[in-house]
Structure 1
């Protein structure tokens, strides 16, 4: 049985020795920098775990799995510019450490290098992988644009928000799993189930992120709890609260949203109290459970012996239970 921790170590070793280019240094150093910040690396791990269900030759999926992570970090580099974010994983963002122009150009090269990492895929599978990768990449951009559109809207519906996070976050998890299946030799129906599993779990993952931002343990979450409340970010929790509040409660919530000067702790506590009065936490937890439940069911429906899919199922369960 494959060991996810060992796979993660193998991935890390490959990333550490991988070269994205050298000259000019100003172009390539930012790439090495953002990739050195690591992150959770669970997307490429999903690719390797998926491939391991159908093949003993996991090494064939190693570079394609890295492509998923390089693409993910490319999107983060550009997202940080658009969000004017000063920090990424507790360190200065690329556009802060260098400048926006450098971050744009280095990000562009990362996308190209992601394609390079897909080139070892056998010819008979390469066209399908590239078609699916291109579709995924376009959808991630669509999700980012919707997210930016929502910044100026206060009538975003639950359905619109779920579609936005499906595009921005979960389609890449779906691709990570289907990529492993394609490389490992899964049949077409299994590849579809793997994609659906990633898509459903990806939505659950983002909803869990929304929840942890409000209710997470500060010592485990890794960033400021309540940051979304301070920034008036349109998360699932805020959208549901605005939708379900009566006039008086909605007026109070809107007061905090529109207040230009405020005490951060006071605002966080006041908005959390509104969430509690509307049972927003339990509603969000139920929605998270629904999506992760669908994803796990997709994996259980794979037509292969349970022992082969057990490592992936166990890792998926860890995503459900994460506290950071």
Structure 2
């Protein structure tokens, strides 16, 4: 294994057991239906071959209604993020948590779909709840598109909301799912970016961070499959916009169950075509390491974080990345995209 610089995990989800009832996806029998707070993350990364110098905490998809202004659940998550970032977690949340200094960035939920005015109201409330110290670590917002109706990201209000985020210097975190929703979601993202940037001054254009390779179907065995070709085309199209970044993350969720449990070398070999496309399209200066912990552990075991780290390390080796390029992939790109202070 190559010598590696300190890394930033650009994509983790943390939540206390008290929040489980606010997570619609987290049924009582779900494998993640327990507390996944800072101590659990630190335990999962304790054997990391490179020091973890920080992380970006992404919202955990708490209960919301797109048409409602009842923002109790997401604002409660921001209050939780405040305790996380300021090292004031409650004892029952795994606190107080001096490791909170590792929290370099926060990406909460935001009602982008409601348009600029309502989004502005939410941001005001979010800032009040976060407080000055934690608000300084809020680097962007996410509104998951992967399960939303076709055309959601192209609505006038949504595009207006994206422009508000860009004007205020926030990133928009893009969560789509080509595997289950088809090429239409990728085409929608391409058009969304074009509309959000059209006529906007360069310094006010919103930055887009794409999660999980946009969730391609990693069960495909033939690279001539129309699904793979559509995904590959979209990756090169998306990469043409210099304000788009890609996370090497989330792949375990798209793997066949049997492959998840295999060694990192087998996983790397199976998904190499997708990894190669991402490296070729975006280059190391716009790719960042992300584990998607704890989601990555489902079906892959408690050592999933370390296994994914090894997969990404093999990407670096195969691509022949220089020390400077590797430093970007492991942490530098995240610093640039999210404007992290680390």
Question: What's the TM-score once normalised by structure 1's chain length?
Answer: 0.29
Structure with larger Rg: 1
Which has the larger strand fraction? Answer: 2
Question: What's the TM-score once normalised by structure 2's chain length?
Answer: 0.27
Which has the larger helix fraction? Answer: 1
